[in-house]
Amino acid sequence: MSITNTLVAKLAVAFVAVSMLATLAMPAKAATVDELQALIAQLQAQISALTGSGGASAAECTFTGSLTVGSQGAQVTCLQQYLVAANHLTMPTGVSYGYFGPLTQAAVAAWQAANGVAPAVGYFGPISQAKYAMVAGTTGGTGTGSTGSVTLNGKFGTIASVTNLSQYNNEEVGEDESDVKVLGMDVEAADDGDIQLTAMSISFNTNSNSGSTRLNRYVDSVSVWQGSTEVATIDVDDFTKGNNNVYTKTAALKSAVVRAGDTEKFYVTVTAKSNLDSTDIAGDAITVDVDSIRVLDGSGVTINDTTSNGADVAMNFVSFSTSADTELKISTASDTPNAGVVVIDDSSNTDDVVLLKGKIKLDGSSDVTIDEFPVTLTTVGGANVTAVTGSLKLVLDGEEYTESVSITGSTLVGTVTFDNLDFDMSAGDTIEFEVLADINDIDAGNLDEGDTLTASVTSTNRDYIDAENEEGDQLSDSTEKSGTATGEAQEFRTSGIQLKLISATTSSTAGNSASDDLGTFTIKYSVTAIGDTAYVSSLADAQLTGVTTGYTTAHADRAGTATVGGVSTVLVNVTDATLTSVGLYQIEEGSTETFELTTTVQLPTAGQAGSFRVALGGVSWDTDSTDPTPDNAYTSDLDTFKTSYLGLN
C-alpha cells in the first residue's frame, strides 16, 4: 500500500467521523457556533495528527510501565496503532483501541518473534520496549530517520521495482548441501528515500509432489541474503502449513537497507536435509516464492509490498552425488616410461622399476576417499607374472602402498589390487601416481633376457576402483569414473646402455633466395655400457616415427608435423671414433662415451618456410660384436633429447 493511499484512507475516516458527529448532534439540540467551531477544531487536530505521522511510530509512543492483558489507556492505544502499522495486528470492526486483550497479546507475541525478543509470550515489558525503541526509531523534521543503528535518508522511501533473477530457476539442491540459492531478485529503491526491508514473507508449495508433501522431509533451514550478507535464517519447523500444502513464514531481516535509487540483490537459500529419501527426490515438484516484503521508510512508516509475489520459482532436490557432479578421471602421464630396456641384476632383485606414471583428476564439488585401486600386469616371455615380479608398489601423491604379486601358473595377464588405502582427495585436485615393481633376477625359463612387463589401469580396473564421496556413497562406474592409464612394455636385461643428454643446439645458414635456408640441429649425449660391453651402430637416419633396426634414428618436425624430405643425419662418436670390423662403436662395460647426432634440414626440399625441430628417436645397440645391425633399441626417457624450434625461410 502506498503512503498516498494510507493518508487518503485516514482522511476519509476522519471525514466520516465529522459527518457522523454532526448528524448525531443535530437532533438533540441546535449547536451553537462556538460549540461547532470547537468540535471542528478538535477533529482538525486529530486529522492533522493522522496525516502528519503516517501512522503510529516510535516517536509517538512513550511507555512508563509494562503493558499486559488488562492494561488500558493511551499507551495501549499507541502500541496497538504501531502493531497495526507493522502488520502484526488487525483490529476488528467495532472494537475500540485502548484495551490490552488477548488479540493484542497475540500481536505483541508475533512482533516479539519477528524481532528476536524472547520469550515471545505477548508481555510488553522493559526488554520489549527497548527493542521497540531500537526497531521503530525516531522521526525528525529534517528528512532523515533513524531506525536503531540504521539511518534512512528521505521520508518517503518505497520499493520502485522487484525483478526476479532468471538464472535461479529449477536449481538443484543436493543432500546435506548448505545455502543453495533457489531464488534471487533485484530490489530497487525509489529516488524518494532510503528503505529498510524489515521482514520478508517466504512460501514453499509442495502440493504437486508425488512423494512426501512435508517440507521438513526436504529442508533443514532457509536463509535470506542481501548480496553476500546473511540477513535472516529460519528453521523449517517455524514454517506454518496452510491450504494446499503451502508453507509460509515471515522472516525478520537484519539491517537490510537499500539506498534511494540503488538496487540490491537478495537471495533465498536452502539447506537440505542430510538424509533425503530417494522416493521423495524422484517425485518432488516444489516451488518457492516471496509473497511480500515489509518496508520501513525514513519517516517511520511501514509498507507491505507485494510486488515480488507470484514468481513461484521451481527448485529440485537431488541426491548428494547428483548435485556434487563428481567424476574421477584417470589418465596416462606424459612422462610415463617409453618402451625400452631396463638393466637388472643377474643375481638379486632390482627394486622400484617404474612401469607406469599416471594422473587422477577429481572434478565436482565433493571430496573422495579411495580405498581400493587395481592394476593389471602383462608379461611377454615370462613364465607368468610372478616369475617377473613378486612385489608391486603404488605411489599416490607421495603416499606409498605395497602389495605382493601372486599370479602364478601360466597366467601372463593378472590383476593386483591395492586395498585399505584410505586415501583422501579434495574436490578439484589433480594428483600423480606411479606403479613400480621389484624385478626378479634372471632365471632361465622363468625370466629370461628380453622378457617384458607392462602395467596398466584398464577400464575394468577403473570400474573396480573403490571410491566414495563425502556422503559415503560409492562412485558410479558409468558416470563418475572415466579414463585409463596404459604403460609401455619394459624389457629386462642384465646388460645394456644408459643415455644422458648433454646439450641440444641449432644453427642456420641463409640461402641465396627465399625458402632455401639450411638448418643444423645437433644433439650431444653420453652412452654408458652396463653389465657388459655394448656395441652401438654407427649408422643414422631420419624417420617419421620409431627406430630403424641397426640405426640411431632422428625425428624431425615442422611445427609439430613430422617430415623426412630434405633431412639428413650423421652420427659421430666424439670420444672414440674407432669402428669394429662390422662398423660398430664399442663401449666397454662401465665406460661412458660421448656421441653427437647432427641433422640437417634443407629448404625447400624439407617443405616451406617455418619452425623446425629435431628429436632423438632411439639408439640401436647390442652385446654381440658380430651383428652389423644391432636389434636392441634404446627408447626410454628420451623426452628431453630434442632441440628447440628454429625458424627457416
**Domain locations in the chain as residue ranges:** 1-50, 55-136, 159-318, 327-493, 496-648
pLDDT top residue among 450 and 430: 430
Burial class (CB in 10 A: 0-12, 13-18, 19+), 41: exposed
- Residue 566 predicted with pLDDT over 90: yes
| Region of poorest pLDDT, from 88-92, 584-588, 616-620 | 88-92
Reported as a single tens digit per residue, the pLDDT across 176-188 is 889 999 999 999 9
Architecture of domain 327-493: Sandwich (2.60)
Question: What is the model's pLDDT at position 328?
Answer: 95
- Residue 48 predicted with pLDDT over 60: no
* Cα→Cα distances 281→222, 239, 284, 287, Å: 18, 21, 5, 14
Phi, psi of 365 (to 5 degrees): -110, 0
- Residue 138 predicted with pLDDT over 60: no
Residue pair 86/110 in contact by the 8 Å Cβ criterion: no
> Cell numbers at residue 251, please?
522472516
Nearest to 487 by CA among 617, 394, 362: 394
| Region of poorest pLDDT, from 338-352, 478-492, 498-512 | 338-352
Phi, psi of 622 (to 5 degrees): -165, 165
- Band (pLDDT 50/70/90 cuts) for residue 60 is low
pLDDT above 90: percentage of residues in the chain: 65
- Band (pLDDT 50/70/90 cuts) for residue 144 is low
Distance between CA 595 and CA 593 in Å, rounded? 7
Question: Identical fold at 55-136 and 159-318?
Answer: no
| Region of poorest pLDDT, from 57-66, 73-82, 555-564, 568-577 | 57-66
The arithmetic mean of pLDDT across residues 85-108, rounded, is 90
The arithmetic mean of pLDDT across residues 606-634, rounded, is 93
The arithmetic mean of pLDDT across residues 248-272, rounded, is 96
Pick among 2.40.10, 2.60.40, 1.10.3470, 3.30.70: CATH of 496-648: 2.60.40
- Residue 35 predicted with pLDDT over 60: no
- Residue 269 predicted with pLDDT over 90: yes
The arithmetic mean of pLDDT across residues 588-612, rounded, is 94
* Cα→Cα distances 347→37, 293, 344, 393, Å: 127, 85, 9, 21
- Residue 396 predicted with pLDDT over 90: yes
Residue pair 480/319 in contact by the 8 Å Cβ criterion: no
Nearest to 392 by CA among 412, 370, 415, 413: 415
Helix (H) or strand (E) holding 8: helix 3-28
Nearest to 446 by CA among 377, 531, 385, 490: 385
- Band (pLDDT 50/70/90 cuts) for residue 99 is very high
- Residue 58 predicted with pLDDT over 50: no
The arithmetic mean of pLDDT across residues 472-493, rounded, is 91
Question: What is the model's pLDDT at position 278?
Answer: 84
- Residue 451 predicted with pLDDT over 70: yes
pLDDT above 70: percentage of residues in the chain: 89
Question: What is the model's pLDDT at position 145?
Answer: 52
Residue 573 amino acid letter: N
Reported as a single tens digit per residue, the pLDDT across 111-125 is 999 999 999 999 999
Instruction: DSSP for 189-221, please give it.
Output: E-TT--EEEEEEEEEEE-TT-SS---GGGTEEE
* Cα→Cα distances 6→11, 190, 630, Å: 9, 18, 103
- Band (pLDDT 50/70/90 cuts) for residue 64 is confident
Pick among 3.30.465.10, 1.25.40.10, 1.10.600.10, 1.10.101.10: CATH of 55-136: 1.10.101.10
Mean pLDDT of the chain: 87
pLDDT top residue among 130 and 322: 130
Give the end-to-end CA distance of the chain in Å, rounded to a whole number: 80
Nearest to 225 by CA among 169, 193, 172, 180: 180
pLDDT top residue among 495 and 351: 351
Q: Which fold has domain 159-318?
A: Jelly Rolls (2.60.120)
- Residue 476 predicted with pLDDT over 90: no
Helix (H, G, I), strand (E, B) or coil at 387: helix
Bridge partners (DSSP) listed for residue 151: 146
